[in-house]
């Protein structure tokens, strides 16, 4: 059977780093509160010339270089984002153009913080169906543009950035020993819309809007939903938590990451944490974390890696990959 094997990863971050202490002048908040409640110490904030398309392009080029590939080798681009450059065309098509590609196809996928996990599963489907041979899967966000900078309950939590992965068709045996995407579990439930949403859009307010979140309500559901989909992929692959080499969760809050890992029985030393450096970068958070752990030598060929995320919608999902 065809497997989608990881050929390269890359990432890109805006130049400007914003420390927690920088909020203290304008808002009733503190570095101590933010670190204690979330684990976040800093985030990157995009300048006017840094957009979802430019960050996504840079991450894509880094992933291609990591795999020893060029844009000519790619025939599909899936971009997970909730902060596109324009309402349309898809920012994925703009990235395709920036990469000098006029072949293949590209589209955006919108599943908020779960976007990258949904995009990996979607690209894997297209590869296994024979629609594509080599896919660039990108998560790129500029959430700083949709934050209400006067709302301390949300603006301290998010940051900007992009991460990318190249998936390539390979023949596999059909067993869990294969390299590539081995299992995926995706969910959504719109009854939770009001807990995390943006209060604008082209078809309603004709504005971009601002992010609104009932943080405590999201927090309450997060670990349970994450556990469900991770266990779903364990069941599909016939493995258990002990078999995992690395757990690469969505980076929203260190307390959610810790609670999920504990509930799943995953040891602390297998958990990749970058929320301290990047904050919550929505669809970019998982590939940014992946790139850190690949580049520092933690994730290696043959490792069993679990990606998971949960966010607005609600949407939630997990993907199991043999590196
Ligand atoms: O990507 C997926 C979507 N997002 C998430 O996964 C986020 C999920 N939620 C969370 O991570 C947490 O709920 C938060 C970090 C947002 C908040 O942490 P919490 O422990 O749930 O705090 P809380 O909302 O219960 O607020 C505790 C107190 C409140 O004051 P009172 O009502 O106890 O007087 C808040 O007003 O902390 C106050 N507070 C702040 N204080 C200082 C809220 N934000 C801040 C702040 N600085 N930035």
Block means of pLDDT (10 residues each) for the chain, 323 residues, are 98 98 97 98 98 99 98 98 98 98 98 98 98 98 98 98 99 97 98 98 98 97 97 98 98 98 98 98 98 98 98 98 98
Same domain, 153 and 270: no
Same-domain check for residues 198 and 84? no
Q: Are residues 9 and 108 in the same domain?
A: yes
**Integer distance in angstroms from the first to the last C-alpha of the chain?**
17
Q: Clarify whether residues 189 and 119 are in a common domain.
A: no
Burial of 28 (0-12, 13-18, 19+ CB in 10 A): exposed
Q: Tally the domains of the chain.
A: 2
10 Å CB burial of residue 91 (0-12, 13-18, 19+) is: buried
Supply the CATH number for residue 52's domain: 3.40.47.10
Closest C-alpha to ligand 1, atom 44: 153
Assess whether 238 and 281 both reside in one domain. yes
**257 and 286 belong to one structural domain:** yes
Ligand 1 centre to CA of 271 (Å) is 23
- Residue 169 CA to residue 1 CA, distance in Å, equals 10
pLDDT at 44: 99
Using CA atoms in the order 94, 98, 99, 103, what is the torsion angle rounded to 10 degrees?
Answer: 50
- Are 27 and 138 within one domain? yes
Count of Cβ atoms closer than 10 Å to residue 295 Cβ: 14
Could you tell me the residue range of the domain that residue 313 belongs to? Answer: 180-322
Angle subtended at Cα 49 by Cα 11 and Cα 18, rounded to the nearest 5 degrees: 65
The answer, yes or no, to whether any atom of ligand 1 lies below 6 A from the CB of 98, is no
**Which atom number of ligand 1 is nearest to the Cα of residue 29?**
47
pTM: 0.98
Smallest CA separation from ligand 1 atom 19, residue: 216
Spot the catalytic one: 20, 44, 85, 113: 113
Residue after which a domain boundary falls, among 132, 152, 171 = 171
Predicted pLDDT at 117: 99
Ligand 1 site-directed mutation target among 193, 215, 288, most atoms within 8 Å of CB: 215
E strand or H helix at 160: strand 160-171
Burial degree of 150 (CB within 10 A; 0-12, 13-18, 19+): exposed
- Residue 197 pairs in a beta bridge with 212
pLDDT of residue 108: 99
Q: Decide: 280 in ligand 1 pocket, CB within 6 A.
A: yes
Ligand 1 centre distance from Cα of residue 280 (Å): 14
Domain check: are 78 and 128 in the same one? yes
| CA–CA gap between residue 221 and residue 311 (Å, rounded) | 10
Q: Identify the sign of the CA torsion 322, 4, 14, 27.
A: negative
User: Ligand 1 within 6 A of 218 CB?
Assistant: yes
Residues 77 and 108 in one domain: yes
3-state helix, strand, coil in the chain (%, to 5): 40, 25, 35
Whether residues 65 and 41 share a domain: the answer is yes
Give the per-residue pLDDT at 271: 98
Active site residue 210: no
The pick from 25, 37, 221 for probing ligand 1's pocket by mutation, whose C-beta has the most ligand atoms within 8 angstroms, reads 37
Contact status, residue 40 vs residue 156, Cβ threshold 8 Å: yes
Say if strands 16-19 and 42-45 run parallel, antiparallel, or are unpaired: antiparallel
Q: What is the pLDDT of residue 19?
A: 98
Together in a domain, 79 and 191: no
Query: Catalytic residue at 155?
Result: no
Q: Whose Cα sits closest to atom 23 in ligand 1?
A: 216
Residues 35 and 142 in one domain: yes
Res 208: pLDDT: 98
> Domain ends where: 123, 140, 171?
171
User: How far is the C-alpha of 44 from the C-alpha of 275, rounded, in Å?
Assistant: 11
Q: State the CB neighbour count (10 A cutoff) for residue 208.
A: 14
Domain boundary among 136, 154, 171: 171
253 Cβ below 6 A of ligand 1: yes
């Amino acid at each position: 059977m065809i497997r989608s094997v990881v050929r390269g990863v890359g990432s890109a971050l805006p130049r400007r780093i914003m420390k927690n202490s920088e909020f203290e002048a304008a808002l009733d908040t503190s570095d101590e509160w933010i670190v204690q409640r979330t684990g976040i110490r800093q985030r990157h904030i995009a300048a006017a010339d840094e957009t979802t398309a430019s960050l996504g392009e840079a991450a894509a080029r880094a992933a291609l270089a990591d795999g020893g590939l060029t844009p000519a080798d790619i025939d599909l681009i899936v971009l997970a984002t909730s902060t596109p450059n324009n309402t349309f065309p898809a920012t994925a098509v703009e990235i395709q153009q920036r990469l000098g590609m006029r072949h293949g196809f590209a589209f955006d996928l919108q599943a908020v913080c779960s976007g990258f996990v949904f995009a990996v599963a979607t690209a894997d489907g297209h590869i296994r169906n024979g629609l594509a041979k080599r896919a660039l899967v990108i998560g790129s966000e500029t959430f700083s543009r949709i934050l209400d900078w006067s709302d301390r309950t949300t603006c301290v939590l998010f940051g900007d950035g992009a991460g990318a992965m190249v998936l390539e068709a390979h023949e596999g045996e059909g067993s869990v020993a294969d390299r590539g995407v081995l299992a995926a579990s995706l969910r959504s439930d719109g009854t939770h819309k009001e807990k995390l949403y943006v209060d604008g859009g082209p078809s309603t307010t004709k504005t971009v809007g601002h992010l609104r979140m009932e943080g405590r309500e999201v927090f309450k559901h997060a670990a349970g939903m994450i556990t469900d989909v991770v266990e779903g992929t364990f069941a599909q692959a016939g493995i258990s938590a002990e078999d995992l080499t690395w757990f690469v969760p969505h980076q929203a809050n260190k307390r959610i990451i810790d609670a999920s890992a504990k509930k799943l029985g995953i040891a602390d030393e297998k958990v990749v944490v970058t929320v301290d450096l990047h904050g919550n970068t929505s669809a970019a958070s998982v590939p940014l974390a992946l790139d850190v752990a690949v580049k520092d030598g933690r994730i290696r060929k043959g490792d069993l890696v679990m990606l998971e995320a949960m966010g607005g919608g609600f949407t939630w999902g997990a993907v199991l990959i043999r590196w």
